[in-house]
Structure 1
Amino acid sequence: MTIKAFVTGGTGFIGANLVRFLLEEGYQVCALVRPQSCLDNLKNLDMEIVKSDLNDPNLSNKMKGCQVLFHVAAHYSLYQSDKDQLYQSNVLGTRSILTAAKQAGIERIVYTSSVAAIGVGNPGEIVNETHQSPVEKLVGHYKKSKYWAEQEAYKAVKKGQDIVIVNPSTPVGPWDIKPTPTGEIILRFLRRQMPAYVNTGLNLIDVRDVARGHLLALEKGKTGERYILGNHNLTFKALLDELSNLTGLNSPQQTLPLWLPLSIAWMEEYLLAPLGKKPLIPIDGVRMSKQPMYYDASKAINELGLSPSPIKKALQDAINWFIDYGYIK
């Protein structure tokens, strides 16, 4: 019997890659999309689209006939002005979709959390799923909202639902339509708009490996467990140097003292945003860069069979996708 999967967030970066992977693996896919969503990432795919939202009181009826749920949808923003929407979409939306899934008889759920919910260790420390920063120490409302959304998943597990949690690190690759903050970094580099950089670090993974990790979690993950979907820890400078190697463009050599972007971000968000100017640098984004965000994905590799591909290929494919889809003028 062909398994039918209900996917939220299918128009987004991870979701679009997940939908494609599920279709390649022979799954039927039903994707929940908001009525106002851009559907370019799902164009010409053999799938069913349901136009609604996470807080639709009739959502369970729209999930009938599906056996599994991939709850990928989330609001991602580091701006102060989006605080309320973050909690509405990420926390209450997760509570709503899990309730609807129970009513619809969904057999198994993979919930897409984030390493943001885990937090970071001491400066330079590589952490795994056993680590948990106190919620009050998580930087910004996005990270806090993902933490509280994860708690909704744990509550549902205790009430009998079969849920596996995956925590992607920083995905890169094709179909980054919005684009994500990491995609913005690549774009700014390609547009030669990055004269300097901040000393920090992150964990990168090919977005297609993240998609594959979701299916592995469905097939092999333990109920109530979380799995970091990550690959390569590297400094921000190393990322820029790799982009330089792939493109032939010069990598910035000057570092920025943290107070400078922090001051600019504060002025943009608190002085200019109320006057109608869209801020370009979020305060929380700068604050996050104070400390490298390094993660250990051994659990997903050993228990799920995740086999991350070279990050160089993911970066090259991201570059090619942005160029092919007209992001570089």
Structure 2
Amino acid sequence: MTTTALVIGANGYLGSHVTRQLVADGQDVRVMVRPNATTIGIDDLLVTRFLGDIWDDEVLREAMAGCDVVYYCVVDTRGWLRDPAPLFRTNVDGTRNVLEVAVEPAIAASLKRFVFTSSYVTVGRKRGRVATEDDQIVDRGGMSPTKRLRGLTPYVRSRVQAENLVMEYARDHGLPAVAVGISTTYGSGDWGRTPHGAIIAGAAFGKLPFVMKGIQLEAVGIDDAARAMILAAEKGRVGERYLISEKMITNAEVARIAAEAVGVRPPARAISLPVAYAMAVLGSAKARLKGTDEQFSLDSLRLMRAEAPVDCSKAKRELGWEPRPVEESIREAAKFWVGLREAKRRSKQAG
């Protein structure tokens, strides 16, 4: 059965892959992107475009009208920002604005699912145990029911607040929302070069100076993450959260797989965690002194140190989600970067 689906943020890494899979599935696909957005990831697709951002209420209403499913894929992931205000404006205030439009009677009349892109960082993780969707972090003005939330970066707080907001609209306003908590994504089509994609590119080009010991993240292939979003629309229970990750993998292993996939030597140098923290302290100090945004800072390092694993059996059981080994997606990402570099080289020679 053909459904009408809208992907908000379709130009992004996840949004473009969701869009591609929906088109391949034969759905009637609409996309909403900013007027100045780079849309190379979806330019070859037959979709209906709406130009506007998440603050354009009239464009939102026009794009959502008559939709069966809305996939909300807008996230500001810049966890290293010196001033975190943009994170909360986009991830929290912007989400609230879209939710307000989604529950308007004219929109709600046809809307069957609102699939929200969340993150696995919204669950409480502790060393020595496996976290599930029930391990929720509650952030109401920086407080939990039992203790003050210490150690959460502004980025994580913005993601927790956004997810809780979506669940509130499902509970109190009848929004048919499902939250999909996606881990670190790897794969091809990373046209905007995400920070984790940059690591693979560096390894694939033989230019990654070192890897960091003691750094490991939950990871999943970008195509599998996109499929989880679509399955959540089809089978997800309203008001529920679903964690999406294939496995935990180290920074060194990601670099090794990427390098070997394209026939180059993996980085030979590895720095210890204390050295990584010292470098992060310097990055944070530079940000304060010079007023710059440094990608390698204490906040970004804390995000990379998500050592406790998460349990994704709920998504597999309820959604029928079956991810491929993430190693395959890492190899595809490495080949994507090398292929893109080669294409640029040939284009330059031809020009």
> 1:226 & 1:138 partners in 2: Cα distance?
23
> 1:273 & 1:247 partners in 2: Cα distance?
39
How big is each residue's C-alpha offset from its partner over 1:214-256, in whole Å with a ceiling of 9 and x where there is no partner?
Answer: 1111111111111111112223333333234323333345442
Q: What is the Cα deviation at residue 31 of structure 1?
A: 1.1
- TM-score, scaled to structure 2: 0.86
How big is each residue's C-alpha offset from its partner over 1:284-328, in whole Å with a ceiling of 9 and x where there is no partner?
Answer: 121233441522211111111001112222111111111222289
Instruction: Go from structure 1 to structure 2 and tell me whether the alpha carbon gap of 1:4 and 1:290 turns closer, same or farther (over 3 Å shift).
Output: closer
1:251 to 257, 263, 266: 266
Instruction: Go from structure 1 to structure 2 and tell me whether the alpha carbon gap of 1:127 and 1:222 turns closer, same or farther (over 3 Å shift).
Output: same
> 1:205 & 1:146 partners in 2: Cα distance?
19
Q: What is the Cα deviation at residue 149 of structure 1?
A: 0.3
Structure 1 runs, 4 residues or longer, greater than 4 Å off: none
2:341 is the alignment partner of 1:326: yes
Corresponding residue number in structure 2 for 1:143: 156
2:134 to 130, 134, 144: 130
How big is each residue's C-alpha offset from its partner over 1:242-279, in whole Å with a ceiling of 9 and x where there is no partner?
Answer: 23432333334544233433333343344357647653
2:272 is the alignment partner of 1:271: no
Q: What is the identity, as a one-letter code, of the residue corresponding to 2:201?
A: L
How big is each residue's C-alpha offset from its partner over 1:80-102, in whole Å with a ceiling of 9 and x where there is no partner?
Answer: 33511110101111111111112
User: Is the contact between residue 87 and residue 145 of structure 1 (CA under 8 Å) also seen in structure 2?
Assistant: yes
Structure 2 gaps of 5+ residues are: 140-148, 346-351
Corresponding residue number in structure 1 for 2:200: 186
2:219 to 204, 212, 216: 204
Q: What is the identity, as a one-letter code, of the residue corresponding to 1:112?
A: T
Corresponding residue number in structure 2 for 1:14: 14
Corresponding residue number in structure 2 for 1:41: 41
Secondary structure of the residue aligned to 1:209 is helix
Q: What is the Cα deviation at residue 196 of structure 1?
A: 3.7
2:110 is the alignment partner of 1:109: no
Q: What is the identity, as a one-letter code, of the residue corresponding to 2:120?
A: V
Compare 171-180 and 283-292 and name the one that shifted more. Answer: 283-292
Corresponding residue number in structure 1 for 2:82: 81
> 1:225 & 1:71 partners in 2: Cα distance?
16
Secondary structure of the residue aligned to 2:168 is helix
> 1:119 & 1:324 partners in 2: Cα distance?
39
How big is each residue's C-alpha offset from its partner over 1:30-70, in whole Å with a ceiling of 9 and x where there is no partner?
Answer: 11111221111111210011111112232223321222101
Corresponding residue number in structure 1 for 2:182: 168
Q: What is the identity, as a one-letter code, of the residue corresponding to 1:210?
A: A
Q: What value does the CA root-mean-square deviation take over the aligned residues? A: 2.3
How big is each residue's C-alpha offset from its partner over 1:7-33, in whole Å with a ceiling of 9 and x where there is no partner?
Answer: 111111111000000011111111111
Q: What is the identity, as a one-letter code, of the residue corresponding to 1:28?
A: D
> 1:187 & 1:257 partners in 2: Cα distance?
22
Q: In the comparison of the two structures, how many residue pairs are matched?
A: 328
- TM-score, scaled to structure 1: 0.91
> 2:54 & 2:297 partners in 1: Cα distance?
26
User: Share of identical aligned residues, percent?
Assistant: 27
Structure 1 gaps of 5+ residues are: none
Q: What is the identity, as a one-letter code, of the residue corresponding to 1:18?
A: V
> 1:204 & 1:14 partners in 2: Cα distance?
14
> 1:132 & 1:241 partners in 2: Cα distance?
34
> 2:215 & 2:280 partners in 1: Cα distance?
17
